Amino acid sequence: MRELDLHGMKTADAISFFTREYENALESGTSCFRVIHGYGSGGTGGDTRRSIRSLLAANPACVDFVAGEDVDGNPGYTVVYPKRRLPSGSVGLYDLIVEFCSSPKTESAIIRRFVRRTPEGEIHRALRNLENRRRLRTFYRNGRKHYIDYRVGRGRV
């Protein structure tokens, strides 16, 4: 099985490299490949692993995948089954949203920030996925839902 090793890369570089290799795999007719992203040195899962899996989960019409822990208990890789091209707006969107939410942001503020280059439905899907994958957490202030990077201390909100 073909392998793509992302160890030692910054998350943004790893996502960019992954998307290029994903396209190459499609063009060459590769039916599946293993993405080695590591499990994260903090023990809670690395940013690269979360970013890759969030990108894959947000595009079920384009790709199937199986987490390594579901194969043999190893969370350091993901097996990817490409079906068709990933939408261009989804590449990097997740990381950009998380970065934008380093301070609390409402959904409408997030949409205003990204809607010029990404369809609104895709932004909504990204927010749901980021919340489900615990990259963003939410809280309510003045009756409005706010999003913030999960890593930001709760006392700072």
Residue-wise pLDDT for 60-93, tens only, equals 889 999 999 999 999 999 999 999 988 765 656 7
pLDDT score of 88? 64
Of residues 8, 33, 4, 18, the one with CA closest to residue 94: 18
pLDDT at 155 over 60: no
* 18 touches 98 (CB < 8 A): no
| Burial class of residue 135 in the structure, from the number of CB atoms within 10 Å of its CB (0-12 exposed, 13-18 middle, 19+ buried) | buried
Q: Fold for domain 92-156? A: Arc Repressor Mutant, subunit A (1.10.10)
Dihedral sign, Cα of residue 10, residue 86, residue 99, residue 79:
negative
Which of 66-75, 113-122, 137-146 is predicted least confidently?
113-122
Q: How far apart are CA 129 and CA 151, in angstroms?
A: 16
Place of tokens 């615990």: 134
Per-residue pLDDT tens digits for 36-46: 998 876 555 57
Query: Domain 2-85 belongs to what architecture?
Result: 2-Layer Sandwich (3.30)
Q: What does the domain layout of the chain look like in residue ranges?
A: 2-85, 92-156
